[in-house]
Amino acid sequence: MPECALGSDLRRIIGSDAVLTDKAARVWAGTDFITQRGVPAAVARPTSSDQVVALLRYAVEHSVPIVPRGGATNLSGAIAPGDESLVLDLTSMNRIVEIDAQARRAVVEPGVINADLKAAAAAAGLVYAPDPASTPISTIAIIALMRCRTAVAFPVFSPADVLHIRAHVAGFRRREPAVSDHQL
């Protein structure tokens, strides 16, 4: 699909302010702390789950590869956009929706910075322990998806710790997520 057609289609889906197609933005989206990994055809910056769903639906229908982007340290090697890909920049979805100290639960959007969640948890009398080297800039979605372990001597973040991830998987029917029996 031509780059200009992709950009036009994406602007119709989520608005022109949330789509970047200029060369500098595309190079930025394919660059991490180490090097440039690729240059995508476009960058989308959704601000809601509905926009993520619409983007994924479009990507499936048009065979556009999606590359998610969080803090872009890429220390895990997770981003490498090809020239036909769409980078889904999740950093605009950065709200801490709720911290429930009694239930030891946080409800957050995928672009929340790890350090911000740690600070909000501390203010509520809780400790959020995952401590990757990229804590000041890494996002919670990537930490959860990459099964981050702490650098402070013991593993504290595992699949059992994640009670609920609202995921939008392109090409699959929606299914209610399972809830872990484990307490945080």
Domain residue extents for the chain: 3-92, 96-161
Cβ atoms of residues 61 and 175 within 8 Å = no
Spell out the per-residue pLDDT of the chain, length 184, in tens. 555 789 999 999 999 999 999 999 988 888 777 766 788 899 999 999 889 889 989 998 999 998 888 776 666 565 677 788 898 888 899 999 888 888 877 888 888 888 898 899 889 888 777 666 677 778 877 666 655 544 443 333 333 445 445 554 444 444 444 443 333 3
CA distance linking residue 77 with residue 20, whole number of Å:
23
CATH number of 3-92: 3.30.43.10
CA distance linking residue 77 with residue 88, whole number of Å:
16
Residues 6+ apart with CB under 8 A from 155: 149
* pTM score of the predicted model: 0.73
